[in-house]
């Protein structure tokens, strides 16, 4: 999907697709890092704290960025439906890139403050030790937990209210006789799916606190509980973004299928020639 986006210049000029590809890249990085942390925790058990810090901070940044990108994409749909005549002035490529920059900056604030608090409370030698790579074991000061809990409450309330406001406004626009009902229906369904994505993203902050009691109650199923939580919290939600925009969007789906078809047609003759030469 990233290659499809890069191969066609007209995608660069549409804020909708810019936000979409940022979501896909963000989810790909987040999924890669979380999977790496999951594998490392089983393969090595303990790794260097400084390496763990880099992995965890980047994973937290990409995890926190997802709901904010969802909010930005919902606002873009709201503007396109409710202010179609002003869409070109309000949603520009420059403003979209600035929005993505602000989202990354805000998402990076939380792990940076975790690091600063840890540097203030822990000796430098702590980062030269080996630990089981987990956020709670790396950033173990109690003030970090309280800070993150307060931040997440405000953070998700803001995103939830943004999605609710845009959804209600689009629903009201659907009642206007002069509005394109097909476009409104698609925008409404898209914002609704963003709400489902937000709920799945919230699992990343709710399920870990439930995991420890479950493992305590069923210690013989510890590996299974961790694996199921890993699938529900980190794997499945990351597949929704490509489905919502990559498969549901007719324009992007057409070019994506063309690219996939052209690759198949290129690979098959190459394999035949290779077999003949062999």
Assess contact for 211 and 226: CB atoms under 8 A.
yes
Cα gap 194→25, rounded to integer Å = 17
More confident site: 277 or 9: 9
- The residue assigned the tokens 């998402």 is 107
* pLDDT greater than 60 at residue 274: no
What top-level class would CATH report for the domain 13-236? Answer: mainly alpha
pLDDT value, residue 264 = 60
pLDDT tier for residue 32 given thresholds of 50, 70 and 90? confident
* pLDDT greater than 60 at residue 146: yes
Compute CA 276 distance to the chain's CA centroid, rounded to the nearest angstrom: 45
Cα gap 166→139, rounded to integer Å = 36
* pLDDT greater than 60 at residue 275: no
Highest mean pLDDT among 71-80, 180-189, 248-257: 71-80
* pLDDT greater than 50 at residue 273: no
pLDDT tier for residue 270 given thresholds of 50, 70 and 90? very low
Q: What does the DSSP 8-state code read for residue 11?
A: G
More confident site: 273 or 30: 30
**Averaged confidence pLDDT in the chain:** 79
What is the reported pTM?
Answer: 0.79
pLDDT tier for residue 9 given thresholds of 50, 70 and 90? confident
Each residue of 229-239: pLDDT tens digit? 777 777 777 77
Assess contact for 201 and 64: CB atoms under 8 A.
no
* pLDDT greater than 90 at residue 98: yes
Each residue of 218-231: pLDDT tens digit? 878 777 777 787 77
pLDDT value, residue 175 = 67
Lowest mean pLDDT among 23-32, 156-165, 266-275: 266-275
Helix (DSSP H) and strand (DSSP E) numbers for the chain: 11, 2
Question: Residue 113: in which H helix or E strand, if any?
Answer: helix 93-121
pLDDT value, residue 100 = 92
pLDDT value, residue 271 = 47
Cα gap 25→100, rounded to integer Å = 12
Tokens found for residue 187? 């925008």
Q: What is the secondary structure of 207-261 as a DSSP string? A: HHHHHHHHHHH-GGGHHHHHHHHHIIIIIGGGGHHIIIIIIT-HHHHHHHHHHHH
């Amino acid at each position: 999907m990233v290659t499809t986006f890069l191969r066609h210049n007209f995608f660069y000029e549409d804020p909708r697709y810019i936000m979409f590809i940022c979501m896909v890249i963000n989810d790909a990085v987040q999924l890669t890092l979380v999977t790496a942390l999951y594998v490392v925790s089983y393969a090595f058990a303990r790794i260097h704290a400084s390496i763990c810090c880099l992995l965890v901070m980047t994973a937290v940044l990409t995890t926190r960025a997802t709901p904010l990108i969802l909010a930005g994409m919902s606002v873009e749909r709201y503007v396109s439906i409710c202010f179609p005549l002003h869409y070109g002035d309000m949603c520009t490529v420059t403003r979209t890139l600035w929005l993505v920059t602000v989202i990354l900056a805000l998402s990076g604030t939380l792990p940076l403050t975790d690091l600063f608090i840890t540097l203030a409370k822990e000796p430098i030698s702590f980062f030269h030790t080996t630990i089981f790579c987990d956020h709670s074991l790396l950033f173990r000061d109690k003030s970090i937990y309280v800070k993150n809990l307060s931040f997440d409450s405000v953070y998700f309330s803001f995103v939830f209210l943004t999605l609710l406001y845009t959804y209600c406004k689009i629903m009201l626009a659907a009642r206007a006789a002069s509005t394109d009902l097909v476009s409104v229906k698609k925008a409404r369904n898209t914002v609704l799916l963003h709400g489902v994505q937000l709920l799945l993203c919230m699992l990343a902050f709710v399920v870990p606190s439930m995991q420890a009691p479950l493992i305590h109650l069923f210690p013989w199923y510890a590996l299974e509980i961790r694996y199921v939580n890993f699938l529900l919290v980190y794997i499945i939600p990351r597949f929704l973004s490509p489905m919502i925009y990559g498969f549901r969007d007719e324009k992007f789906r057409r070019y994506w299928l063309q690219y996939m078809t052209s690759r198949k047609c290129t690979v098959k003759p190459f394999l035949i020639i290779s077999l003949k030469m062999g």
